[in-house]
A and B are shown apart, each in its own frame.
Chain A
Amino acid sequence: MQAYLDQLIQGGAFAGMPREVVYAIGMLLAAFIVLSAFVAPLAGVTSWLERRVWARMQSRVGPNRVGPQGILQWLADGIKNLLKEDIIPTAADKKLFSLAPYIVFMGFLCAFVVIPFGGHLIVADLNIGILYILAVTSLVVVGILMAGWASNNKWSLLGGMRSAAQIISYEIPAGVSVLMIVFLAGTLSMQGIIKGQGWAPWDWYLFHNPFTFAGFFLYFTAALAEGNRTPFDIPEAESELVAGYVTEYSGMRFLFFFFAEWGNLYVIGAVATTLFLGGWQVPPLAIFENSPMLLAVAQFVTFFLKAYLWVFVAMWIRATLPRVRVDQLMSLCWKYMVPLSFICLLGTVAFMFVPADGQRITSAAMFGLGVAITIIFFLRVGFQIRQAKPELYFKPHI
């Protein structure tokens, strides 16, 4: 981004303007474009897709009225929520109550700055990219605590407390799993990490060694917990805490929290893709040689699909699993995930001393194992689907 602006400045595009102003305007423009053209529709469509996927798994129909297959449902919901009255309870702490959704929103939105959508499609390739993501997403918890406290409602407070404890705890296994990859890549930059991998699955860090393979699942689980997703959705646990920290919110402020939740799903997928799944790497085909545009599109599509796969998995998990209890959540983190993640970290470090040939063999073996696991998984899914026998659905005859 900065390089591109530099290029324009050198070309004399902004003659007479101070460089900083150009940067500032460029950044604002980039933020605006990312927000309005990518993040908002993405979070919206994710919300629609989640409802549809969920409905499908529950043998319901789901929203299908607004637009083809109901795909514009998110727009309708957004407009509805914009038009709703913005209720602030009298007993609430008004300033903090109004501010909280924006902090949550900002925390997740800032993460999009360093997400590498393609080889050149990145707002800013910070040399500490992955650390930056961990930092800004940890700001979300401040907003949630604020919302929980400012609502002056006991359910909200309990939800805020649960959320704070949960996010702070699960940052550790997530961070250590990330550290594993940072060790392997030798850089914190998102692009650097992707460039350390190849397009082929056996070049991904996922299959680098058994420890990174385990680390991927540790990261994904911890990220789900950080994103307050089922089975770790205890901060808003609607059957226990009514709606947790969002109990008192309505209208657009309410929407902001869920905007952040759905957008955050994509961030989880994108980080997992960057760290473990080779990011935007595409096979070096001949057609990409002469057309950088085509290459950029291919990279974007690759990255998007890889990331979105994990969004889908998160939806799937949400439709399948019940919710854990708050103490079980904590013991899962501190008794199992934190020690496991440290073991994986040490294992990865030890593995870095293995000679290159050995590493290649391990990658191939791990890839084979991954394929085997995938096949077993799909056989299992197929078994479940056959057992479910949709044709047996009893046809209502009235």
Chain B
Amino acid sequence: MNETAQDQDTGFHTEDMTISVGPQHPSTHGVLRFVVKTDGEVISEAIPDVGYLHRSIEKIGEKVTWHGYVPYTDRADYLAAMFANQVFCMAAEKLAGTPVTRRGEFCRVIACELNRLASHLISVGTFGQDIGAMTPFVHALRERETINNLMEEICGARLTYNYIRIGGVGYDILPETCTRISEFLDHFEPIVDEFNRLLTGNKIFIERLAGIAVVSKEDALQYNLVGPNLRGAGIKWDIRRDIPYSVYPELEFEIPVGTGHIGALGDSFDRYWVRIRELQESCKIVRQCLKMLPKGPAISKVARKFKPAAGECYVRVEAPRGDMGFYVISDGSEYPYRVRIRTGSYTAMSIIDKLSKGIMLADLIVLIGSLDVDAPEIDR
């Protein structure tokens, strides 16, 4: 900062205060630490310190079988376990050339989009809480609880699903579950409007978000932001549409991008607003899938001793926190030779230092919340 200039001007000796935000701080969304240098309340530097949640998930991949690794992928991002399941299974299928049943694909999309709803609800809810609004957080978690119930009905687990298997999905979605899901969607869509009335339209909330931590299009590309953070900067890029996978090409949905209609393009509000609109888009996708759900088996026949051909592949899906990719090498054995995970939160962390220069301490919390970083996903 202009520390020396200030010293000369006033004759006072001022020094920056170094604060350790985290690893046990209410708003760092997990075990995450920032070394923040501040001049009063204004941040001059915020260095992210990651690694508190490293569980060597990638290394474990080399020691367990292809089937056995699927539950581990759940733990990469516990808020969006379904996507890691899916992307690993897609990688394995691509290596082995295993077909996926059509019903299985639809079940995957339904489960994934429900999971996206749950993940985004956590994101916008905790974001509200970071800014001091407690009620939206509880309302969001209330809705997420219902999604957890539905997930429990679909696959027997509420958080780490292990639902998507190589060749399809573990359990078929029952007709009564389908009705329950559409009932929930009927209920949920008005709730999004209520949420907007309660939080999004709030003047204080808008004032806190608009124009804070603006990510320009160039920065977003240079720092490799993905998902809602990238779309918030106004770049229309969505893996579901641009590198199509599964049955997404058959589905109709929009890709919300930031418009800067309240603050500047690419500010915290845009990122938040993209997530809110993705909630509505996900509802649309699930409805279409429920309508189109074909008859047939949910999983194709896959050998128990799964041995894909030697080779390597990189597969990516659009997870709630953006582009999630698995780079898998197979040497033709029962075990993957190498698994490498690429996640959205990790790259989002890199831009925090740049964005945090000159903003206030309270805005750092807004920044972290608006980037929706998730500690387990950063460290893996």
Contacts and interface: CB of A to CB of B under 8 A. Distances in A.
A and B touch in the complex (CB under 8 A): yes
Interface of A: 54, 57-60, 154-155, 158, 230-231, 233-234, 237-242, 318-328, 384, 387-389, 392-394, 396-398
Contact of A394 (B41, B131, B183): B183
B15 interface: no
Contacts of A231: 132, 204
Q: Kindly list the 7 A-B residue pairs having the minimum CB-CB distance in the complex, ordered from nearest.
A: A323-B132, A58-B138, A322-B133, A322-B131, A239-B27, A322-B132, A394-B146
Nearest to A54: B134
Interface string B338-380: 0000000000000000000000111101000000000000000
Nearest to B180: A397
A231 B184 CA distance: 33
Contact of A326 (B27, B149, B183, B362): B362
Interface of B: 17, 19, 25-27, 41, 128-135, 138-139, 142-143, 145-146, 149, 152-153, 180, 183-184, 187-188, 190, 193-194, 197-199, 202, 204-205, 207-208, 360-363, 365
Contacts of B142: 59, 393
9 contacts: A59-B142, A230-B132, A239-B26, A319-B134, A321-B133, A322-B131, A322-B205, A327-B41, A388-B194
Contact of A58 (B25, B139, B187, B202): B139
Nearest to A241: B361
Contacts of B146: 394, 396
A392 B135 CA distance: 18
Given A154-B17, A325-B360, A397 B205 contact: no
A320 to B, nearest CB: 7
A389 B190 contact: yes
Contacts of A318: 134
A83 to B, nearest CB: 25
A268 to B, nearest CB: 19
A126 to B, nearest CB: 37
Nearest to A243: B26
A58 B180 CA distance: 24
Contact of B362 (A319, A325, A392, A394): A325
A238 B26 CA distance: 7
B144 to A, nearest CB: 11
Nearest to A326: B41
A394 B184 CA distance: 7
B121 to A, nearest CB: 13
A237 B204 CA distance: 15
Contacts of B205: 322
Contacts of A57: 135
A58 B199 CA distance: 13
Given A59-B142, A396-B146, A324 B129 contact: no
Contact of A320 (B17, B25, B135): B135
Nearest to A327: B360
B138 A324 contact: no
Contacts of A396: 145-146, 149
A138 B293 CA distance: 67
Of A54, A324, A325, A327, most B-chain CB atoms within 10 Å: A325
B132 to A, nearest CB: 3
A392 B27 CA distance: 31
Contact of B132 (A58, A59, A233, A393): A233
B132 A242 contact: no
Contact of A387 (B128, B187, B194, B202): B194
Contact of A323 (B25, B41, B197, B204): B204
A51 to B, nearest CB: 12
Contacts of B360: 325-327
Contact of A240 (B152, B183, B204, B365): B365
Contacts of B152: 398
A239 B129 contact: yes
Contacts of B153: 398
A239 B365 contact: yes
A249 to B, nearest CB: 16
B205 to A, nearest CB: 5
B145 A239 contact: no
Given A239-B131, A240-B365, A392-B187, A154 B19 contact: yes
Contacts of B183: 394
A242 B194 contact: no
A57 to B, nearest CB: 6
A241 B26 CA distance: 9
Nearest to A394: B146
A60 B175 CA distance: 31
B154 to A, nearest CB: 12
A318 B145 CA distance: 24
B134 A242 contact: no
A397 B149 contact: yes
Contacts of B133: 320-323
A238 B132 CA distance: 8
A241 B36 CA distance: 13
Given A239-B130, A326-B41, A319 B135 contact: yes
Contacts of B198: 320
Contact of B128 (A230, A233, A322, A397): A322
B149 to A, nearest CB: 5
A121 to B, nearest CB: 36
Of A239, A328, A384, most B-chain CB atoms within 10 Å: A239
Given A322-B205, A394-B146, A396-B146, A237 B362 contact: yes
A325 B208 contact: yes
Contacts of A241: 361
A325 B365 CA distance: 11
A393 B188 CA distance: 9
A237 B132 contact: yes
Given A240-B27, A323-B362, A328-B208, 18 more contacts: A54-B134, A59-B142, A158-B361, A239-B27, A239-B130, A240-B362, A319-B135, A322-B131, A322-B132, A322-B204, A324-B207, A324-B208, A387-B193, A394-B187, A394-B188, A397-B180, A398-B149, A398-B152
Contacts of A384: 197
B199 A322 contact: yes
Contacts of A242: 25-26
Of A240, A241, A387, most B-chain CB atoms within 10 Å: A240
A392 B41 CA distance: 44
Contacts of B130: 239
A230 B363 CA distance: 17
A56 B21 CA distance: 33
Contacts of B26: 238-239, 242
A384 B145 CA distance: 23
A388 B136 CA distance: 13
A250 to B, nearest CB: 16
A238 B146 CA distance: 28
A147 to B, nearest CB: 18
A242 B134 CA distance: 15
Contacts of A240: 27, 361-362, 365
A336 B14 CA distance: 31
A320 B135 CA distance: 7
